[in-house]
Copies of this chain bind each other. A is one copy, B any other.
Amino acid sequence: MINIDITGIPSIPSQLLDEARHAWARVKGGNGTFKDWNGWVTLPETTSDAEIAKIKLTAEKIRTESQMVVVLGIGGSYLGARAAIDFLKSDKYNIVTRNSPRIFFAGNNLSAPYTQQIMSFAASQSLSLIVVSKSGKTLETSVAFRIFYNLMKAKYGEKARERIYVITDPEKGALREFADKNGCISFPLPSNIGGRYSVLTAVGLLPMAVAGIDIAEVINGAKSETSPEDALTYAAARQHLYRSGKKLELLASFEPNFRYMGEWWRQLFAESEGKEFKGIFPVFEELTADLHSVGQYVQEGERTVFETFINFDTSAAKLIIPAGDINDGYDRLVGMDYNLIAKASKEGIKKAHTDGGTPVIELNAESISPFTFGAAVQFFLISCATSGVMLGVDPFNQPGVEAYKKNFFPALDKLV
């Protein structure tokens, strides 16, 4: 469960809370075109034990066969998995892992040097490939798929196809055809769940399971968000602040390992809301590092920013400050727990920012665990769809993303 604390913002008019409840009812009920895109609403409760078991079995095969896995996908097809691994294991997972394969993400850019660095590392490793694209026609993923498929054919010959795992539309598309023709193990990306709402399908769950994350607990966490009053309050708070002139939301976490969860959140909200010349621009803020960066702007720049702190209970990671032979003014902290210092810092930041005209929403989560991750995901999905409907846009399309795709071949024609 994620709990909201709105003491750091001006009080929300009750009609906005009603508006949020009404918007959520429309999303949940599948009003109009929403019915084609609200598959994620009931996904946690409808995910069967058999589906979980199939993902775990496949992950176990990959873990046994490979030292390294490359996940190909862009946007919603990779951010959720990366977020989960960084947050639940560590952003140093690939350095410290001993019993689970290293996991690299490619096909989310067009950088030759970057792709070559992964290829070069793959040369000496046993390798599996997970490829994720709903349409099977995503430029970045398609290009990278050719490169890595080619590399795997050179390594494994005809048996390469036994090491390729496909997550795509259950019925149609280029990747579906490829998987069926080659007998690859595949998982469906349900047609009524858009990319950025898909982290709790195999898109997110398969890489998580490969990393050794308990995916049943992730789903259990998501299930715990069934009475979403706090998620609706978050949606109402965002729209309240937006309507009063706040244009930028900084989602702030004290956990550096939360960075890619922040990227996931950023994609979710920017793609759902940034339409019709409106929307809150979402930014991730790493505390306390960013206080020595955008913190200056938050305190004294244009008064258009609000913050949302997401706080995890990290008290299990007890770390006592030892004495130091240094006269730096911090001897008072000796013997205290690091977590207490973080908490005092957080309170100090909240006071400084709210005093300075930056409202602060707080989201309080339990300890860092697969359960909490699942709860946070479902919380944000519910908030985002609700907030988008309140804003008056369709939170499930992304017409602006098509614009650059349309220009690609004409631009290529000019260059060749």
Contact = CB atoms under 8 A, between A and B. Distances in A.
A67 interface: no
Interface stretch (A11-19, A133-141, A370-378): A133-141
A121 B92 contact: yes
A416 interface: yes
A49 interface: no
A149 interface: yes
A416 to B, nearest CB: 7
A319 B147 contact: yes
Contact of A75 (B178, B293, B415): B293
B114 A256 contact: yes
Given A92-B121, A326-B142, A351-B411, A74 B292 contact: yes
Given A293-B271, A401-B299, A326 B174 contact: yes
Interface string A119-143: 0010000000000000011011011
Given A178-B326, A412-B344, A415-B340, A76 B143 contact: no
Contacts of A296: 270-271, 274-275, 398-401
Interface residues of A, number: 134
Nearest to A349: B404
Given A295-B400, A296-B271, A299-B401, A113 B407 contact: no
Contacts of A248: 248, 281
Contacts of A416: 336, 340
Interface string A377-399: 00000000000000000000011
Contacts of A347: 407, 411, 414-415
A102 to B, nearest CB: 7
Interface string A176-189: 01100110000000
Contacts of A266: 293-294
A116 interface: yes
A143 B322 contact: no
Interface string A276-291: 1111011100111101
Given A92-B117, A255-B114, A411-B345, A292 B267 contact: yes
Nearest to A303: B277
Given A292-B267, A351-B411, A400 B328 contact: no
Given A274-B300, A347-B415, 12 more contacts: A112-B337, A174-B328, A175-B326, A182-B325, A271-B296, A271-B297, A281-B297, A291-B401, A291-B404, A296-B401, A344-B412, A348-B408
Interface of A: 74-76, 79, 90, 92, 94-96, 102, 104, 108-118, 121, 136-137, 139-140, 142-143, 145-147, 149-150, 174-175, 177-178, 181-182, 195, 247-248, 254-257, 263, 266-267, 270-271, 273-279, 281-283, 286-289, 291-305, 314, 317-319, 321-330, 332-334, 336-345, 347-349, 351-353, 355-356, 368, 398-401, 403-412, 414-416
Closest 10 CB pairs of A and B: A274-B297, A75-B292, A299-B400, A348-B407, A274-B301, A267-B293, A344-B412, A174-B328, A146-B324, A110-B342
